[in-house]
Chain A
Amino acid sequence: MNENFEPKIAAFVCTWCTYTGADLAGTSRLKYEPNVRVLRLPCTGRIDFSLVIKAFENGADGVLISGCHPNDCHYNAGNFHARRRFAVFRKLLEFVGIDPNRVQFSWVSAAEGAKWRDVVNEVTDEIRSLGPFTEYQKLIAGSFPFQNEMSEPEVISEKEQVENVK
């Protein structure tokens, strides 16, 4: 692995809590790792898992999703819905062979500038230790890793199909 590897992390945050918290970190002049690109959405409930896939397709090594703490959601329940969705989505990623730690989740309120700093630092460290997401980058480059070993798909003629069911 490249010693100087710096991960690219897409952070999808809700505008009401985490974005404001990240803003507070800025206005309080807290220093944190520069690896996250913050993308602001109305609510964690709006953060569709397709956005996570898009982030990987655009070269992200990791994704951070962050919103209001339970019971603090501006829309009351968006974060509760997101919590269920991502609990299940992580299992799907794991099942197809993607390390679920590439997709991180946090609750950061508008008052938690310091927590935002800590979350970003920890997540960056963790993704850095996972290394670049080369598997996905190979997909982007247009090859499945085992393409060359693939045998031709088996072709069954209609006649054989009829034989089979006889």
Chain B
Amino acid sequence: MSNDIKQSSEAKKLARELLEQGKVSAVIGYAEGTLKGRVQTLIARNPLDAEKFIFNEYCVNNLAVYLTKSYRLLKSDKPVAVFLKPCDIRTVTALIQEHQIKREDIFIIGMSCQGVRNGNGLSGKCRACRMHNPQYSDAVIGEAIEEKEPEVTDPFARVKEIENMSTQERWQFWTKEFDKCIRCYACRQACPLCYCEQCIVDKTQPRWIESSAHPVGNMAWHLIRAFHLAGRCIGCGECDRVCHQNIPLSLLNMKMSKEIFDLYGYRSGVDPEAKPPLTEFKMEDNEEFIR
């Protein structure tokens, strides 16, 4: 039996059992999509639906997005189970840190993962992945995978390339990218950490961000989005993946993660007890930029 089929059948079995035994109120997972190579999200509430669950290399979405955006719909006295790849699990940690969910309200079905596809090949984040085995889970589906040195050893290589450009080249690079933005907000909708009930970009009194795809509004949107995720982004890459204009959004987020790590030694989504770095401070924080 191929790995996919084996992992899918284990997933179906576990989901069915959890629902039959009434341990969870719903299971959020992947099901076959309408096109080959596409999967869709399935929220199963009864054991029969559990038969539709699958897991394969096309299961690219980070399902943790449903834990905030749809959580109120799912909320009951029982936990909600969710299929999460090892990288997606960090979202749960970050959401616990931000007091959005409680650990006991989530049943993590960790998927051991060989990498997912993006278009023709392995997705970029998977080429740099060092954690194919799920941590912090209530159940693990799939066999243990041996961790090897990834193909891409420095995930920040592209960020560093941009850092090495001149100020003017960087401005050219980013304005050219931002010009493509049509302000569909798919990047925000797919981001599991963009869970604000009212996003600042939708606020009209006052209007902080010009809402048409005007250069001023696009610049403001991208600066504000990136900064709102500084020290919070867990690097799932969903923003990049869903942007049909191919704007490399996660480079901005990775730059923020890099700086936050250099300044405050913090990585998002690692330690559920840690305080997010922009909600705390130390007396001795760097202030060489202050007169």
**Which residues of A are interface residues toward B (Cβ below 8 A)?**
49-50, 53-54, 57, 70, 77, 80-81, 83-100, 104-107, 119, 122-123, 135-136, 138-140, 142-147, 150, 153, 161-162, 164-166
Interface size counted on chain B using CB atoms at 8 A: 57
Beta-carbon contact of A84 and B178 below 8 Å: no
How many A-B residue contacts, CB cutoff 8 Å?
149
List B contacts of A94 (CB < 8 A): 167, 170
A81 with B223: CB separation less than 8 A? no
User: In the complex, what residue of chain B is closest to A52 when comparing beta carbons?
Assistant: B223
Selected contact of B290 from candidates A54, A83, A85, A123, CB within 8 Å? A83
Chain B residues numbered 237-282 whose CB sits less than 8 Å from any CB in chain A:
245, 252, 255-256, 259-260, 263-264, 277-279, 281
A-B contact pairs, 29 of them (CB 8 A): A50-B224, A81-B278, A84-B278, A86-B289, A87-B286, A88-B260, A88-B278, A91-B259, A93-B223, A95-B252, A96-B174, A97-B170, A97-B172, A97-B174, A99-B167, A105-B291, A106-B290, A122-B291, A136-B219, A139-B215, A140-B215, A140-B216, A142-B215, A144-B178, A146-B175, A146-B176, A147-B179, A162-B35, A164-B120
Q: Known contacts A95-B252, A107-B290; can you find 6 more A-B pairs with CB under 8 A?
A: A92-B256, A95-B170, A105-B289, A135-B171, A150-B179, A166-B36
A44 CB to nearest B CB, Å: 10
Contacts of B291 in A (CB 8 A): 104-107, 119, 122-123
> Are A84 and B255 in contact, CB atoms less than 8 angstroms apart?
no
